[in-house]
Amino acid sequence: MAYTIAFFGTKPYDESSFNDKNKEFGFEIRYYKGHLNKNNVLLTQGVDAVCIFVNDVADAEVIRIMAENGVKLLALRCAGFNNVDLNAAATAGITVVRVPAYSPYAVAEYTVALMLSLNRKIPRASWRTKDGNFSLHGLMGFDMHGKTAGIIGTGKIAKILIHILKGFGMNVLAYDLYPDYNFAREEQIVYTSLDELYHSSDIISLHCPLTEETKYLINDYSISKMKDGVMIINTGRGQLIHTNALIEGLKNKKIGSAGLDVYEEESEYFYEDQSDRIIDDDVLARLLSFNNVIVTSHQAFFTREAMENIAITTLQNIKDFINHKPLLNEVKR
């Protein structure tokens, strides 16, 4: 009998990617469109493993019910795991694995795309020309060459981003709890304090994990330390930024622009077509009203190569678990 996996929060592109790679593994996969939560966790009955994405909920109650249903493995097809109660999983005897890196190039390149789009007002220019308006008023940007980028977190994605930004001729300040000084010497960047990074950066880009220490890292106090007109980019996790503080900074012109591929309450909206609904999240609606803000739907990872890597790594994680092999991508409390 084939090993059975229940996939939650799936889209057609997930099914296409996983069905293609599953030809090499032979698992029985059941796809469900809805996000895993306490209301649909009963669908985990009769399956061996559960696979989830960033907006699924695997809290203590959901994990308890999954364990009662006989689930032994929770496979995340993403890098982040802040939506999983790891203590509950350990207590219930459910192993948790993830995909630590699917395509750092995809996210790094998308981060640069947000920077350029905001700086050179490309969305506004495109809207204007479609309406027959070819004026340049209000579209002035700045040379990125010679400016300073502050990068918070210097993992794989950030290192690729830094390499790209150095190609623009930018100065780079970095902050990380565990600095990689060899990398810093190679790329000629400077590790510094958060205060100095805030004070000196023209562009700040967030690439750190979401933890208790980094939650709302960008807040009223940290924004007050930044340069006037700073650009803030977040392709990491939504709760790295206190959104109301960001909005206040945009209103008083302290923040010149913001590029957000994530949002702290995104699970109600992202990855779904909401075009026939009124957005009743007042904070998100306010963000979308700024012409110097770009909000996209958590798509920085979304390249052909990344989807292939996600599928292969997820299915290999599951195969290694079945065969009692060392789990290189296990997440422990």
Residue reference for tokens 């069905």: 19
CA distance 231 to 121: 13
CA distance 202 to 118: 13
CB distance 233 to 294 below 8 Å = no
CA distance 211 to 234: 15
CA angle (275, 277, 282) in 5-degree steps: 105
* Residue 232, pLDDT above cutoff 70: yes
Q: Which residues contact 5 (CB under 8 A, 6 or more apart)?
A: 27, 28, 29, 30, 47, 48, 49, 50, 51, 75, 318
- Catalytic-role residue among 266, 305, 324, 330: 266
CA 319 to chain centre: 26
Strands across the sheet containing 148-152: 190-191, 171-175, 148-152, 203-206, 230-234, 255-260, 293-295
- Domain formed by 4-102+303-323, architecture: 3-Layer(aba) Sandwich (3.40)
- Spell out the domain ranges in the chain: 4-102+303-323, 104-295
- Catalytic-role residue among 64, 237, 242, 264: 237
At residue 251 the predicted structure's pLDDT band, cuts being 50, 70 and 90, is very high
- The alpha-helical segments, DSSP class H, found in 120-175 are 122-130, 156-167
pLDDT score recorded for residue 84: 95
CA distance 311 to 19: 9
At residue 1 the predicted structure's pLDDT band, cuts being 50, 70 and 90, is low
Helices (H) and strands (E) in the chain, counts: 12, 12
pLDDT score recorded for residue 111: 98
Q: Which residues contact 139 (CB under 8 A, 6 or more apart)?
A: 120, 121, 124, 125
CB distance 147 to 170 below 8 Å = yes
pTM, two decimal places = 0.90
CA 108 to chain centre: 11
At residue 243 the predicted structure's pLDDT band, cuts being 50, 70 and 90, is very high
- Catalytic-role residue among 35, 77, 98, 298: 298
Q: CATH homologous superfamily for 104-295? A: NAD(P)-binding Rossmann-like Domain (3.40.50.720)
Which residues lie across from 95 on neighbouring strands?
A: 73
Q: What's the mean pLDDT in 80-103?
A: 94
Q: What's the mean pLDDT in 17-22?
A: 97
β-strands 95-97, 293-295 pairing: unpaired
Is 145 assigned a catalytic role? no
CA distance 15 to 224: 45
Q: What's the mean pLDDT in 292-307?
A: 96
At residue 134 the predicted structure's pLDDT band, cuts being 50, 70 and 90, is very high
- Condensed to tens digits (0 to 9), the pLDDT of residues 20-34 reads 999 999 999 999 999
Is 237 assigned a catalytic role? yes
Q: What's the mean pLDDT in 104-120?
A: 97
Q: Indicate if 104-295 has the same CATH topology as 4-102+303-323.
A: yes
Q: What percent of the chain has pLDDT over 90?
A: 90
Q: What percent of the chain has pLDDT over 70?
A: 100
Q: What's the mean pLDDT in 85-96?
A: 97
- Condensed to tens digits (0 to 9), the pLDDT of residues 186-227 reads 999 999 999 999 999 999 999 998 889 999 999 999 999 999
At residue 45 the predicted structure's pLDDT band, cuts being 50, 70 and 90, is very high
Is 298 assigned a catalytic role? yes
CB distance 197 to 208 below 8 Å = no
* Residue 267, pLDDT above cutoff 80: no
The SS3 of residue 200 is: helix
Long-range contacts made by residues 9-14, C-beta under 8 angstroms, separation at least 24?
Answer: 9/33, 9/34, 9/35, 9/36, 9/52, 9/53, 9/55, 9/56, 9/271, 10/53, 11/271, 13/307, 14/53, 14/77, 14/307
